[in-house]
Amino acid sequence: MRSPAVCLLALAAAACSSPSAPPDPCTVGVLGDATQSIVLQAIALDPNMTPFTVASGDSVTLAFPPQGGRVIFAGVRATNLDGCGVQVEGVIRDLTTHQVRLDSRTVNLSPTGDGWGESDPTDVSTFANVPVCPNEWSATNLYGTPYQLELAVTDRGGRTATQTLQVTPECSEPAHAAECLCICKGGYVLGEVCADTSDGGADAGDEGGGDGGT
């Protein structure tokens, strides 16, 4: 039988020990071969919220997001990186003035079973929600005008990759097209009343967010 003193010491040690850290909820791990350079592909959501691989010269949707305004849902598909805690940054750049709007967020990539991971097409929060309208920052219409789309990823080990493409944003959601053509036009003034409010109307006066720069 253990003595009372030994038992007290054991209880004290248990009480003073540090609790174990909670397990990392992300179980994606390394996608592909981490000894190789990251390979990155830009993806975006079309008017039906279906992802597609973006090539230079493609059109991208000016989408009506939950937060109002208009955004480009710009995501990534990548391999040869840690799929947990990936920083995804999307930037849209005016090719004339070089003004930008951007969004950056940290996501866990969704494995596709072939060594790649991607922004989850069922969760728009895993895409950069690049805020472009209301258009108080670009002198030209956001729609029908070529802009530069820049995508970047950084994994938890600090390894990075970037892709730069020329894209043409379009008001391609039929239910929200009229409002989009108003708040995304060049020279739009915040608070301006648009003729059509079929998508709820409130987003015509919303800020839409974003960072400007040169």
Which residue segments constitute the domains of the chain, with CATH numbers given? 27-205 (2.60.40.2550)
Of residues 92, 109, 214, 103, the one with CA closest to residue 164: 92
- Verdict on whether the full-model pTM lies above 0.85: no
- Provide the residue-wise pLDDT of the chain in tens; the chain has 214 residues: 555 454 444 444 444 444 444 455 899 999 999 999 999 999 999 999 999 999 999 999 999 999 999 999 999 999 999 999 999 999 999 999 999 999 999 999 999 999 999 999 999 999 999 999 999 999 899 999 999 999 999 999 999 999 999 999 999 999 999 999 999 999 899 888 886 544 444 444 443 344 444 3
112's tokens: 């596709």
- Residue 4's SS3 state is helix
d(CA 209, CA 150): 18
Q: Is 188 exposed, middle or buried (0-12, 13-18, 19+ CB in 10 A)?
A: buried
- Number of residues in the chain: 214
DSSP result, 15-83? HHSPPPPPPPS----EES-TTSPPEEEEEEE-TTS-EEE--TT-EEE-B--TTSSEEEEEEEEEESEE-
